[in-house]
Every structure is written in structure tokens, then in C-alpha cells.
């Protein structure tokens, strides 16, 4: 794993580890239901126990997102959200919380703005790194250069279907942590975490990853506890977006506190 450059997400995960708990990573879409509400929701997330905040960039063809997140990002786009708005959101959130802030984005949005410009503006706003679900390391040379130039983390995904060589390449290319997809398919809260999750994490650790975090399907404190027995962090998205939809930013703070209660492992 690439670690020479300071990694904010690695520091947050290691801090959680030193405190005897699983790192908690929360996802919220940028601009949903409004830009200001998305800022307030992310601040609630960061100030109620999230170590890392993952801001999702709305995209017109979100192939990995489940229905709840698809509807939220569609509403943000309908309201006029533009990619450049995310830098204002990140700057506000990083100035009001201690959490590291990453952006999850489909690569076309970064490419369209220009990889160097996107990375520069994101770093200037206080951002920590990018989660890139549809970018593979073999096609990421421009991102390698920009992320090194601006000191940003590179977070690639590994899945149950990933062949051994791809797992190894992914681990070598990441800086911060590896994002382990616990199930095949789209995002969404589920009643139980897939048993494939542990195998995905074990394979990444075996390939040399010091930090592996699990996403997709986490909706209860018990899920966070379960994941903490073998992974370094738990990533929650749909449950938080549902809370924001139904109860506003304060509800995000409430569910974050509840979910984080499952993060103590020692």
C-alpha cells in the first residue's frame, strides 16, 4: 500500500484502533436535500462519532447505488447541484468537524473537470482523498500523479469476485484504506451483513493491506460490531441517507450515535 505521503484517513483509522474501536465511516450525498442541509447533515455525522465522512457526488447514471441513494442524488441534480459545489461543502464540513472527508465519485465527473484541477480544488478545501468505484488501478495513471502531487488518498474497491492479481494490484495502489465491497450488486441497507465480507477483508489483508473497511449492507449497531471483529472500519450509507430523508440533519446525528455504539471492539 502506498503510504509515504501523509494519509488523513489512515490516521483516523489508526486513532480508532488505538482507542479500541472500529473506525466508523459515513456516506451522505452532496447537495441532498439541499446544499446547506447536506453540509449540516455531514457536520452532524462528524460531530457524533464518524471518523471519516464520505461525500457522494451525484451522478446521472449511478450504476452502483441502490434506490434510496439514487433518489437522493436525483433530487440533488434536479435542484441544480453542480460538481463544483462539492468543494464548498467539503470546506464547510472540514472547518466544523475533526473527521477526514473523502469524496466518492464516478470517474467521469473528475475527468470532465480535469483530474489536476479537481484534485487541487479538493485538497484546497481540506479534502483527504477519493473513493473511485468505477476506476481500476490499471487506468488510473493520471490520478496517481495528481493524488501524489496534492497529498490525497486513493481508495479503490475490492469485491468477492476480484481475482487474486486484482486484489494485489488494488492493495498496492491504495493509500489510506482499501474499500471492501461485502456483496455483489448495488448499495442498500440489509438485515444482515453478507458472509462474503470477511473473506474479502482477509484476502486484502493477506495481500498486504494494513487497513480494510467494509461497505454495503450495514444498518445496525450489531453489524458494526460484527465487522469490527475482522475489519478496520465499517462504512454506512443507506441508513444515514434514509435518516436524513425522514428526519433531517438532526436525525443523522441520532442514528450516527446509535451505530457508533457498536464500534467498540475491546
Q: Give a yes or no: residue 199 inside a domain.
A: yes
Sheet containing 129-131: give its strands across: 153-155, 129-131, 100-104, 52-56, 23-29, 233-236, 212-215, 178-181, 157-158
Q: Give a yes or no: residue 191 inside a domain.
A: yes
pLDDT above 50 for 224: yes
Q: Give a yes or no: residue 2 inside a domain.
A: no
Confidence of residue 191 (pLDDT cuts 50, 70, 90): very low
Count of C-beta atoms within a 10 Å radius of residue 95: 10
Q: Give a yes or no: residue 3 inside a domain.
A: no
Q: What are phi and psi of 82, to 5 degrees?
A: -125, 150
Which positions are annotated as active-site residues?
Answer: 54, 65
Q: Give a yes or no: residue 54 inside a domain.
A: yes
pLDDT above 80 for 65: no
Q: How many CA atoms lie within 13 A of 107 on its CB side?
A: 14
Widest CA span of the chain, in angstroms?
45
* Predicted local distance difference test score (pLDDT) of residue 128: 98
Domain count, the chain: 1
Residues 33, 153: contact at Cβ < 8 Å?
Answer: no
Q: How many CA atoms lie within 13 A of 213 on its CB side?
A: 33
- pTM, whole model, 2 decimals? 0.93
Determine which helix (DSSP H) or strand (DSSP E) holds 57, and give its type and residue range.
none
Sign of CA dihedral 48, 51, 57, 63: negative
Q: Which residues pair with 264 in a beta bridge?
A: 21
* Predicted local distance difference test score (pLDDT) of residue 1: 81
**Which CATH number do you get for residue 167?**
3.20.20.70
Q: What is the mean pLDDT of residues 72-77?
A: 91
Sign of CA dihedral 113, 241, 160, 153: positive
Q: Give a yes or no: residue 17 inside a domain.
A: yes
pLDDT above 70 for 10: yes
Q: What is the pLDDT of residues 155-188, one digit of tens each?
A: 999 999 999 999 999 999 999 999 998 764 444 4
Q: Give a yes or no: residue 265 inside a domain.
A: no
H helix count then E strand count, the chain? 11, 9
C-alpha cell at 21: 474501536
Q: What is the mean pLDDT of residues 46-70?
A: 87
Angle at 253 (CA atoms; ends 16, 10), nearest 5 degrees? 25
Sign of CA dihedral 86, 88, 91, 94: negative
Mean pLDDT of the residues in the chain: 92
Packed helices 35-47 and 85-96: angle between N→C axes, nearest 10 degrees: 30
Residues 13, 211: contact at Cβ < 8 Å?
Answer: yes
Q: What are phi and psi of 123, to 5 degrees?
A: -65, -40
Domain assignment of residue 179, given as a range: 8-260
Q: Give a yes or no: residue 65 inside a domain.
A: yes
User: Between the CA atoms of 153, 181, 114 and 122, what dihedral angle is there, to the nearest 10 degrees?
Assistant: -40
Angle at 42 (CA atoms; ends 221, 89), nearest 5 degrees? 155
Amino acid at each position: 500500500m502506498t503510504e509515504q505521503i501523509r494519509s488523513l484517513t489512515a490516521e483516523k483509522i489508526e486513532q480508532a484502533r488505538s482507542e479500541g474501536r472500529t473506525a466508523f465511516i459515513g456516506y451522505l450525498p452532496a447537495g441532498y436535500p439541499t446544499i446547506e442541509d447536506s453540509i449540516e447533515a455531514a457536520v452532524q455525522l462528524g460531530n457524533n462519532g464518524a471518523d471519516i465522512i464520505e461525500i457522494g457526488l451525484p451522478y446521472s447514471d449511478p450504476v452502483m447505488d441502490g434506490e434510496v441513494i439514487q433518489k437522493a442524488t436525483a433530487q440533488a441534480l434536479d435542484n441544480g447541484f453542480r460538481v463544483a459545489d462539492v468543494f464548498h461543502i467539503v470546506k464547510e464540513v472540514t472547518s466544523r468537524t475533526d473527521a477526514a472527508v473523502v469524496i466518492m465519485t464516478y470517474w467521469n465527473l473528475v475527468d470532465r473537470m480535469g483530474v489536476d484541477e479537481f484534485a487541487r480544488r479538493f485538497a484546497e478545501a481540506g479534502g483527504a482523498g477519493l473513493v473511485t468505484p468505477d476506476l481500476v488501478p490499471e487506468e488510473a495513471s493520471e490520478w496517481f500523479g495528481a493524488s501524489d502531487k496534492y497529498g490525497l488518498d486513493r481508495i479503490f474497491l475490492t469485491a468477492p469476485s476480484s481475482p487474486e492479481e486484482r486484489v494485489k494490484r488494488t492493495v498496492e495502489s491504495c493509500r489510506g484504506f482499501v474499500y471492501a465491497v461485502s456483496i455483489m450488486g448495488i448499495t442498500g441497507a440489509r438485515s444482515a451483513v453478507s458472509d462474503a465480507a470477511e473473506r474479502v477483508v482477509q484476502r486484502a489483508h493477506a495481500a498486504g493491506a494494513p487497513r480494510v473497511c467494509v461497505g454495503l449492507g450495514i444498518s445496525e449497531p450489531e453489524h458494526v460490531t460484527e465487522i469490527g471483529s475482522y475489519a478496520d472500519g465499517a462504512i454506512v450509507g443507506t441508513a444515514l441517507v434514509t435518516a436524513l430523508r425522514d428526519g433531517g440533519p438532526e436525525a443523522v446525528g441520532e442514528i450516527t450515535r446509535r451505530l457508533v455504539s457498536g464500534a467498540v471492539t475491546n
